[in-house]
Structure 1
Amino acid sequence: MLKSISCFILIFSFAMSLNAQDLSKHQWKDRLILIIAEEKNEKFQQQLIELQNHQNGLDDRKLVVYQILPETFTTGFKEENWKNSNELFQKYKDEKSDFRVLLIGLDGGEKLEQTEILSAEKLFNTIDSMPMRQSEMRKNR
């Protein structure tokens, strides 16, 4: 009986971990922009538009956009493929604001955070000043 219970707990834990979103899969491959909001509000929509208007710059800098709401999240700009989970929201929400933008570098560290719309210019300047990005730019010349 104890073996059965242990086996069930192990299987249940594994299934739950598969459902959890793990951003570490991007480490050393992608930079991440997390747009976190309590709801799809005006700032949320404006931030998406700002980034969509600079898709080539996002691609060039290996940026993956995460849209994160309290119960769901998705990557990119499409309206489909939302996944049910509150883990990312709980981990990255700002206690003092209903909107937050976060840049996570290739190394998995938080590089920039703000609670106002992040301009593509500021985002790109921040990334382009990083040693890893400068190395990438030298290699691509």
Structure 2
Amino acid sequence: MKYINLLFISGLLSFNASAYPEYGQFKNHRSIIYVADVKDKRVDKFINELNQNKCLLDERDIKTLVITRNGFLLPNHMFNQQQIENMLKSYNLGEGNHIGILIGKDGREKDRWSGDLDWSSLMLLIDDMPLRKAEMAKKKSHCVI
């Protein structure tokens, strides 16, 4: 009987774990999701800014996802179309062009913007979060500003 209960509980745990959406990986770190209708100059500018701010993003454990509604995805092949649609719906990103959101390690939306991003303000917002303050107390910045 003891083994049957153990088997039943482990079966429930494995079923529960598999119920999480695959984009649940965004809950292990901070995330920026940037959505546009097409890959245009503003999307290219955002991607360039991601590269320029790589050290700051890495230091703050921020992963980025750039999606266009006409099929561009950065990083490539991370999600299938259904997963992308579910994610956009989950974060209410169904309409609008050039929308970005910051998602905290808890999976909750922390900030939303449209158009160009003020990187300094975003970094200050993140650095003011309690979990980030604890991270900064343990480790000094190595990024050159």
Structure 2 stretches lacking a partner, 5+ long: 1-17, 141-145
CA drift at 1:23: 2.8
- Is the 2:37–2:70 Cα contact (8 Å) retained in structure 1? no
CA drift at 1:58: 0.5
Give the length in aligned residue pairs: 119
CA drift at 1:116: 1.4
Match of 1:127 in 2: 126
Deviations 1:63-91 (A, max 9, x none): 00011122646454xxx436441333444
Match of 2:24 in 1: 24
CA drift at 1:53: 0.2
Structure 1 stretches lacking a partner, 5+ long: 1-16
Match of 1:9 in 2: none
- Is 1:63 the counterpart of 2:42? The answer is no
- Is the 2:39–2:72 Cα contact (8 Å) retained in structure 1? no
Please give the root-mean-square deviation of Cα atoms over the aligned residues, in Å. Answer: 2.6
- Is 1:40 the counterpart of 2:54? The answer is no
What is the percentage of aligned positions where both structures have the same residue?
A: 27
Match of 1:116 in 2: 115
- Kindly provide the amino acid, as one letter, of the partner of residue 38 in structure 2: E
CA drift at 1:140: 1.4
TM-score (norm: length of structure 2): 0.69
